[in-house]
Amino acid sequence: MNIEKLKQKYPNIRFYKLRTMPSQNMFEIEKIEDFFELVKIVGYTETQVDENSASFIALKLLTDTYLEAKNPEYTQLLHYNPFCEYVREHKTEILNKILEGKSYVVTILYGIDINVMFHEESGLDISENEFDLGLAEIDKLYKDYSTELSKAEEKRNKEINTCILNYKEQYLQTKTKVEKEEIIRKVQLELKMKFKIDGRNDYRASKIAIQALYEE
């Protein structure tokens, strides 16, 4: 979306470059033609997207599209996506070529006389064929990612189990109920500090589960 071309196409519209984005809530219009039917005075902002950011935006779009196809309930993570980070660190030669970023300008149009806006992500220069190739490459990486994730989860589960069992002998040698409960609380504190789990988010860290493991 180019402002100078828009000025030529809509000569009866007044355009004003804004210092910042408007703070009030606005209705986002889907089609640019509809936007210009509604407004008479337009404010706009222009944001330069550098090559690195353009590459990451394209990568985020590919990974989000892939994950949404695998799981309709997938929710896009705005700031951090572990799989996206994995793909960025393990990009194949094909992905590197597809995601080669080119800087571009993002333009957002705002109605000055009416609370509407139009935003078009037109900077991503990826063909449909390249997009499909990218998804195929991401599918290969996802299999490796899932394998590594499973191994990491298995390792973590063993470490949690070991952490609990480290206190089993001490628990069994303790005679009073108060002392046994104190040991369980000590285990729970260690689980929370080392693994960020407690009885509310992981049954293994609950008093009942720990006690059952010790007395089986």
**Which tens digits make up the pLDDT trace of 64-81?**
888 888 877 766 655 567
Look at residue 4 in the predicted model and tell me its pLDDT: 87
Give the type of residue at 92.
Answer: T
Torsion over CA: 51, 55, 61, 64 (sign): negative
Give tens-digit pLDDT for 133-157: 999 999 999 999 999 989 999 999 9
SS3 state at 144: helix
Other C-beta atoms lying within 10 Å of the C-beta of residue 83: 18
DSSP E strand stretches across the chain: 14-17, 27-28, 41-49, 104-111, 116-119
Query: In this structure, what DSSP letter does residue 29 have?
Result: P
Give tens-digit pLDDT for 94-141: 999 988 877 888 889 999 988 999 987 655 678 889 989 999 999 999
pTM of the model: 0.60
Look at residue 212 in the predicted model and tell me its pLDDT: 93
Q: How confident is the model at residue 58 (pLDDT cuts 50, 70, 90)?
A: confident
Contact yes or no for 110/32 (Cβ under 8 A): no
Contact yes or no for 192/198 (Cβ under 8 A): yes
How many angstroms separate the CA atoms of 110 and 22, rounded?
8
